[in-house]
Amino acid sequence: MKLIFEKSVSGRRCSMLPACDVETVELPEGFARTEAPALPEMSETDISRHYSELCRKVHGVNCGFYPLGSCTMKYNPRIDEEMAALPGFAGIHPLSPKHATEGCRDVLETAKQYLCEITGMADMTFQPAAGAHGEFTGVLLIKQYHEARGDSRRTKIIAPDSAHGTNPATAAMCGYQVVNIPSAPNGCVDLEALRKVLGEDTAGLMLTNPNTVGIFDENILEITRLVHEAGGLCYYDGANLNAVMGVVRPGDMGFDCIHLNLHKTFATPHGGGGPGAGAVGCKDFLAPYLPQSVTVDGPGRKQVRSFSGNFLVVVRALAYLMTLGREGVPEAACNAVLNANYLMQKIKGTFTPAFDRICMHEFVLDLSEFKKETGVSALDVAKSLIDYGMHPPTMYFPLIVHEALMLEPTETESRETLDWAADVYRKLYDLAHTDPDQMHGAPHNAQIGRPDEVRAARNPVLRYEKP
């Protein structure tokens, strides 16, 4: 498929935009372009067809099964979009006076109350732009707390080896030394390893529960107790709350602060990298350090982003919560757990789960022995799934599982879809034993086959150069 720039024909135009109805002003010398921007010149019909063709070639959750582990690619109800598109929300300006923003402020307050109830936190901010930014903000709360108490000894953040890569990166960005601890054979935190690294230099622990292998750590109360006894705080990576929302609260597990990815658990669009919302919540004793919205007046206001963050994302999340209600939120979580366990049991007997136990919202397959037996890697399996119209699962994560495939079917998939997916995995299992070369070359029916992903990551071509 050609780029839109390659379809451009000099002199061709369309009349989508009306004529300028305001006075034009010349830019001062030095600010104006020396030549016109190289925008594509196309008719309205060709523009429409180009983007329609692009849409047909893109795989989204509205096109087919999308079990991207740890990402929660679930269906986003249309009602959420309709609420966010209401003129009173979509047309508001962040500098509007208070009397014109009462409804918007009510949205923020109501969403805060609901999410505080779900997480067991006392206060929350919606300023952070997305998950990683929220995570950074949460660790800064811990840092501010220790600094305010004059406790300069606490220089280390503990993170398990199964942690998401952003956890140690965030701790390092906040000026902490990262201490990794190994996982126990059951995939949970090794308590003895944790005890060995706790001390007067412990600032906190970063943890997600259920963890990145999809297991709920049954020792979570003991883990948070040990950290608190050492004087540290417990940070909950709530990037994916899909398995426990409305069922168990991180605050009741002993966590002191948390970030949430509204674009995962609370059904707002992923948005191609933005906009997002990384809501950050905390217990009462950390609330004084929490960044506040511009709707809060007074000196000393703390901010990590302008205004109230990406407001319309919060509108979508609130619409989702109000649609589900008190009964629907835990039902969604239970269905997510049910679907994951159902699919895992259907696949067992072919590909092997990394941990043969009840999972939560996701599970990890370990293809190490399978690769030794057939020569077919996790990458080969993932690429082969594309030919069946299924988006590949997360590959080679978490790092503690070699040849890992992580599947998260979410609560919005039907039993029929899960049965079909399990059947596809069984077909690929058989194909690997009879014709592995076919899988080495997959996908065979996609727009793009197997690009040089390393070169693409290191030397991306981001700008079109006219021949």
SS3 per-residue string spanning 378-394 = HHHHHHHHHCCCCCCCE
- Residue 428 and residue 196: Cα distance in Å, rounded? 44
**pLDDT tens digit sequence for 19-52:** 889 998 888 888 988 888 888 999 999 999 999 9
Both 199 and 230 in one domain: the answer is: yes
Contact indicator for 116, 124 with CB cutoff of 8 Å = yes
Both 116 and 12 in one domain: the answer is: no
Both 281 and 348 in one domain: the answer is: no
Question: Residue 45, exposed/middle/buried by CB under 10 A (0-12, 13-18, 19+)?
Answer: exposed
pLDDT for residue 115: 97
On whether residue 328 sits in a domain, the answer given is no
Both 23 and 158 in one domain: the answer is: no
Both 214 and 113 in one domain: the answer is: yes
Contact indicator for 263, 241 with CB cutoff of 8 Å = no
Range of the domain at 7: 1-57
- Residue 369 and residue 267: Cα distance in Å, rounded? 37
pLDDT for residue 271: 64
- Residue 120 and residue 211: Cα distance in Å, rounded? 19
Both 317 and 337 in one domain: the answer is: no
Q: End-to-end CA distance of the chain: give it in Å, rounded.
A: 17
**pTM as predicted:** 0.91
- Residue 410 and residue 156: Cα distance in Å, rounded? 35
Q: Which of 321, 356, 372 represents a domain boundary (last residue)? A: 321
Q: Which two tokens stand for residue 271?
A: 């948005």
Contact indicator for 332, 324 with CB cutoff of 8 Å = yes
Both 143 and 286 in one domain: the answer is: yes
On whether residue 199 sits in a domain, the answer given is yes
On whether residue 63 sits in a domain, the answer given is no
On whether residue 66 sits in a domain, the answer given is no
- The CATH number of residue 242's host domain is 3.40.640.10
On whether residue 191 sits in a domain, the answer given is yes
pLDDT for residue 111: 96
Contact indicator for 69, 408 with CB cutoff of 8 Å = yes
Both 255 and 356 in one domain: the answer is: no
- The CATH number of residue 401's host domain is 3.90.1150.10
On whether residue 67 sits in a domain, the answer given is no
Both 220 and 98 in one domain: the answer is: yes
- pLDDT < 70 stretches in the chain: 16, 271-274, 293-301
From the list 420, 344, 361, the residue with the least C-alpha distance to 74 is 361
Lateral strand order in the sheet of 394-395: 352-353, 363-366, 404-407, 394-395
pLDDT for residue 467: 80
**pLDDT tens digit sequence for 114-171:** 999 999 999 999 999 888 999 999 999 999 999 999 999 999 999 999 888 899 999 9
Both 341 and 255 in one domain: the answer is: no
- Residue 95 and residue 108: Cα distance in Å, rounded? 16
Total domains in the fold of the chain: 3
pLDDT for residue 87: 94
pLDDT for residue 275: 78
Both 144 and 166 in one domain: the answer is: yes
On whether residue 23 sits in a domain, the answer given is yes
pLDDT for residue 294: 61
pLDDT for residue 32: 86
Q: Which amino acid, 429?
A: Y
On whether residue 15 sits in a domain, the answer given is yes
Write the CB contacts of 113 (distance below 8 Å, at least 6 apart in sequence).
none
Both 149 and 210 in one domain: the answer is: yes
